[in-house]
Structure 1
Amino acid sequence: MFELRRLRSFLAVAEERNFTRAAERLHIAQPALSRQIRQLEQELGVRLLDRTTHAVEPTEAGRLLMERGTELCAEADRLWRDVHGFAASERSTLTLGYSTSTGYGTAPALLAALTEHHPELTVTTRLLPTAAIVAGVTDGTLDAGLVRCPPPTPELVRTLVRLEPQGVLLPAGHPLAAGESVEVTALADEPLLIHPREANPGHFDAITALYARAGLTPRLLLRQLSFDAAHTPVARGEAVSVTGASAIEGLPAGLVWRPLRPAAAIELHLLTRGRARRPAVAQLLRTASGTARAQGWLHSPA
């Protein structure tokens, strides 16, 4: 396949009917232009131009190439503009899904950092259950997802963003609320409010493993609502909840959060597709890395 550069050179000569004017139009030396035309004729195996002392005329083959070549170059120019415009759009938009549990501290901090460092980036957010985020990133409807303890998914890349310290959510008048922290073993007789395992198997297993390491098997009270900002069963004294430190933000009156002892943390990851990443996703990952360092999110709780 011949180069478009040589085709454009031929079109310039054929349109100008003159090598000198065509060379000036293309901003190249005339000998270089003549060489390109000869190379094109050699590649095609046909004479394209009839040269006389005073003029240059396309041959029959040259007129065919002139007609079809003009269309080809125009289409190539349109393709270049369209792909370039698509790339610019790809750089400037991002769709991020995040779960309710990451929406208290982690997601807002990350979005604020994106706004600060990449004001040209238009970010669309979607608050979704973990399973829907995993599915959305997998099928491409989401560019990235921020979730707790995501399941291993071959198509996706997990990037650790935060090790979030865990604690117990209690009514303010609960006896365990009097101390600065709560021993896991002290929760032996307290029902544990938790989402059903199918909602997020990784998180369910991580929380129940905290109990198992202390030799406990928790009595479970499964959440009936996917989102309950009032933490109603905890407020009523029906159960306690093990949750991340970011839950302190916007905590309803009458509830307190106490860190667990021994210290424990839950992993928060950004999920992205393993295929070639869009520029906006690369910006998100760099911003997340910088934010994690600045916030000290990757330090294990003491």
Structure 2
Amino acid sequence: MSELRRLRYFLAVAGERNFTRAAERLHIAQPALSRQIRQLEQELGVRLLDRTTHSVEPTEAGRLLMERGAELCAEADRLWRDVRGFAESERASLTLGYSTSTGYGTAPGLLAALAERHPDLAVTTRLLTTAEIVTGVTDGTLDAGLVRCPPPTPELVRTLVRLEPQGVLLPASHPLAGQESVETASLAGERLLVHPREANPGHFDAITAIFTRAGLSPQLLLRQLSFDAAHTPVVRGEAVSVVGESAVDGLPGTLVWRPLRPASTIELHVLTRGGAGRRPAVAHLLRTASETARAAGWLRSPA
């Protein structure tokens, strides 16, 4: 782009107020620099510099070009750098944080698709709490995070990747375990096993809202462990739990999962930084997430 090159030449001359110093800075001959500035003035149809024997001063038009031209060159530099980054990102790395609940089906499915589409992209995963993921994406220690019901964070971009149907986790001996689905209202009198609200306020509120809509106000049993694959309190008959359908894989034989009526879903999002704070490799992740969600039917609402 010859116009952009001439703009850079003009900015150097206007900044130095001297053709000789500008030519030395640009590593070109002074006559060639003078010729480029004259061509720029001819193209624009306006004089940009007032030349004297010992100095150069920008005209009014030149001062406008100095002010806005510097912004244009800086934006062009960012654009070229970001576009080149797409080629480099095939050999780059990506750090993804994910929460325990997304590790049942969503994270593995997404990572498998990413490895298939971009085999040269080195992906590092970190199992973290929702709060740690939000902090990590915000401060740049994570490129992206996969979480349920993330809190509103203005500096982060949320990309919905799954509407996961929710169901109730019951002991196999429970009276409701023989039903194909369980009406939420029929869980009146059951204790509900949940993580403390401070662990993920959005998810806590979404789960309790399922019961509120059914006219219930269940007694809560707070989880003592952040991760308990055995669902010990449920196995013991101390409480029931509402979890997503992906948790069905690997359930102990003493437990069953039944979808809730009316159907309820929980949102899973990929969190990323926006604008200049987003690495080009993140575009591969977001595109893969969109394609995977569409192919797997993750964004369909249950009937």
TM-score by length of 2: 0.74
1:253 matches 2:253: yes
Q: Distance in 2 between matches of 1:106 and 1:132?
A: 19
**Residues 149, 266 of structure 2: 8 Å contact kept:** yes
In structure 1, the residue matched to 2:235 is 235
Q: Distance in 1 between matches of 2:246 and 2:201?
A: 21
Q: Distance in 2 between matches of 1:190 and 1:90?
A: 51
Report the CA distance between 1:45 and its aligned residue. Answer: 8.7
Q: Deviations over 1:90-133 (max 9, x none)?
A: 55211100000000000000001100111121111000011111
Report the CA distance between 1:7 and its aligned residue. Answer: 4.7
1:293 matches 2:294: yes
Q: Distance in 2 between matches of 1:41 and 1:213?
A: 71
Q: Deviations over 1:215-274 (max 9, x none)?
A: 000110000000001100011111110000000111122111110011110000111112
Q: Distance in 2 between matches of 1:36 and 1:227?
A: 69
1:179 matches 2:175: no
Q: Distance in 2 between matches of 1:4 and 1:130?
A: 55
Q: Distance in 1 between matches of 2:116 and 2:290?
A: 15
Q: Distance in 1 between matches of 2:33 and 2:273?
A: 47
Q: Specify the SS of the correspondent of 1:147.
A: strand
Q: Distance in 2 between matches of 1:4 and 1:297?
A: 59
Report the CA distance between 1:35 and its aligned residue. Answer: 6.0
Distance 1:41 1:257, change over 3 A: closer
Task: Report the count of equivalent residues.
Answer: 244
Distance 1:226 1:4, change over 3 A: farther
1:173 maps to amino acid: S
1:117 maps to amino acid: R
Q: How does 1:134-149 map to 2 (within 5 A)?
A: 134-149=134-149
Q: Distance in 2 between matches of 1:164 and 1:158?
A: 16
In structure 2, the residue matched to 1:152 is 152
In structure 1, the residue matched to 2:170 is 170
Distance 1:200 1:39, change over 3 A: same
In structure 1, the residue matched to 2:32 is 36
Q: Distance in 2 between matches of 1:249 and 1:266?
A: 18
Q: How does 1:201-280 map to 2 (within 5 A)?
A: 201-276=201-276, 277-280=278-281
Q: Distance in 1 between matches of 2:258 and 2:184?
A: 11
CA RMSD of aligned residues (A): 2.8
Distance 1:279 1:191, change over 3 A: same
Q: Deviations over 1:41-81 (max 9, x none)?
A: 999999xxxxxxxxxxxxxxxxxxxxxxxxxxxxxxxxxxx
**Residues 95, 143 of structure 1: 8 Å contact kept:** yes
Q: Distance in 2 between matches of 1:5 and 1:249?
A: 68
Q: Distance in 2 between matches of 1:131 and 1:301?
A: 29
Distance 1:294 1:45, change over 3 A: farther
- 5+ long unaligned stretches in structure 1: 11-33, 47-82
Distance 1:41 1:145, change over 3 A: closer
TM-score by length of 1: 0.74
**Residues 6, 37 of structure 1: 8 Å contact kept:** no
1:288 maps to amino acid: A
Report the CA distance between 1:38 and its aligned residue. Answer: 5.9
1:267 maps to amino acid: E
Q: Distance in 1 between matches of 2:52 and 2:129?
A: 64
